[in-house]
């Protein structure tokens, strides 16, 4: 019995869906970066869960050694190395508006807009319709912005050469806009603000993301940006996703 067959057997015996398995494994691992897509890949494509092997075993009610043996049975050759980085842009402004919108328009399960203000998305006239279509089809949308009351914002304005108060005003305008959009999209779109020094901007659509590390003394549009595509468990994509999820869990909810 290979990995996919074992997962399918246990799901039938326990009456579990793909989402149920993901939820159980996340509770075991005390992590929040798993969804039904990952379980589907393990089950249908025989992709070895690596970092999730033991939590998955407990979620399925089997011994980890049995799961490990099933995974090995489906792999006659070592798994080839795969690259997650699709492209590196020297500056975020080199990515076109169509590329930014495509990454969220093609998502079916997960959309994240995480940064300081995500002002471009907030005031793009095409975005409300994209998010409304996504949420109506069952996609989860999470918007995570910097709290405009964070004291360190004054230092960021100074480092980026902004007028005093510019970033706070920009964030508040984006926050108000996103809350209006969330009112139309319903409960599948949630908006939160985080109260900590910003480090990264992440725009995610399912298994793709744009990641922009914040580089002090560079304005956001001039910062280098990576385009990533999730290729395996525990890679750079998952690590960035885990970071964003950790910030989300401690952020303040803003009801739409």
CATH number of the domain that 161 lies in? Answer: 3.30.870.10
CA of 80: how far to CAs of 229, 231, 232, in Å?
16, 11, 11
> Would you place residue 178 in the very low, low, confident or very high pLDDT band (cuts 50, 70, 90)?
very high
Write phi, then psi, for 127 (nearest 5 degrees).
-70, -45
d(Cα 120, Cα 125) in Å, to the nearest integer?
A: 10
Asked whether residue 50 carries a pLDDT value surpassing 80, the answer given is no
pTM for this model (two decimals):
0.71
Structure tokens at 133: 């279509």
Q: Are residues 122 and 219 in the same domain?
A: yes
Q: Are residues 94 and 178 in the same domain?
A: yes
pLDDT tens figures, 56-74: 999 999 998 888 888 777 6
Asked whether residue 34 carries a pLDDT value surpassing 90, the answer given is no
d(Cα 225, Cα 96) in Å, to the nearest integer?
A: 12
Q: What mean pLDDT, rounded, does the chain reach?
A: 88
Tell which of 42, 73, 104 closes a domain.
73
pLDDT tens figures, 101-117: 999 999 999 999 999 99
Taking the CA of residue 62 as centre, how many other CA atoms within 13 Å lie in the half-sphere pointing to its CB? 21
Which residue segment(s) compose the domain that 23 sits in? 3-73
Is residue 116 in some structural domain? Answer: yes
Count of other CB atoms within 10 angstroms of residue 201 = 22
> Would you place residue 86 in the very low, low, confident or very high pLDDT band (cuts 50, 70, 90)?
confident
d(Cα 161, Cα 76) in Å, to the nearest integer?
A: 57
Question: Percent of the chain, pLDDT > 70?
Answer: 94
> Would you place residue 82 in the very low, low, confident or very high pLDDT band (cuts 50, 70, 90)?
low
Tokens 């079916």 locate to 108
Asked whether residue 75 carries a pLDDT value surpassing 60, the answer given is no
Asked whether residue 76 carries a pLDDT value surpassing 70, the answer given is no
Per-residue model confidence (pLDDT) at position 69: 86
Question: Percent of the chain, pLDDT > 90?
Answer: 57
Per-residue model confidence (pLDDT) at position 43: 83
Q: Are residues 133 and 232 in the same domain?
A: yes
d(Cα 140, Cα 3) in Å, to the nearest integer?
A: 29
Is residue 217 in some structural domain? Answer: yes
Is residue 92 in some structural domain? Answer: yes
């Amino acid at each position: 019995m290979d990995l996919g067959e074992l997962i399918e057997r246990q799901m039938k015996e326990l009456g579990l869906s793909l989402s149920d398995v993901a939820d159980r494994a996340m509770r075991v691992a005390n992590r929040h970066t798993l969804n039904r897509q990952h379980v589907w890949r393990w089950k249908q494509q025989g992709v070895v869960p690596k970092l999730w092997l033991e939590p998955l075993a407990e979620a399925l009610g089997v011994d980890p050694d049995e799961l490990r043996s099933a995974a090995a049975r489906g792999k006659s050759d070592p798994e080839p190395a795969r690259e997650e980085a699709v492209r590196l842009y020297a500056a975020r402004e080199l990515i076109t508006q169509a590329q930014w919108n495509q990454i969220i328009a093609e998502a079916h399960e997960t959309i994240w807009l995480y940064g300081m203000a995500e002002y471009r998305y907030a005031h793009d006239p095409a975005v409300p319709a994209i998010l409304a279509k996504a949420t109506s089809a069952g996609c989860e949308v999470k918007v995570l912005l910097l709290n405009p009351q964070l004291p360190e914002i004054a230092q960021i304005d100074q480092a980026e050469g902004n007028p005093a108060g510019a970033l706070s005003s920009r964030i508040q305008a984006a926050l108000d806009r996103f809350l209006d959009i969330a009112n139309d999209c319903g409960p599948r779109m949630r908006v939160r603000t985080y109260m900590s020094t910003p480090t990264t901007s992440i725009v995610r659509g399912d298994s793709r993301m744009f990641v922009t590390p914040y580089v002090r003394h560079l304005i956001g549009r001039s910062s280098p940006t990576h385009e990533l595509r999730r290729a395996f468990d525990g890679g750079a994509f998952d690590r960035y996703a885990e970071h964003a999820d950790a910030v989300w869990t401690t952020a303040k909810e803003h009801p739409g």
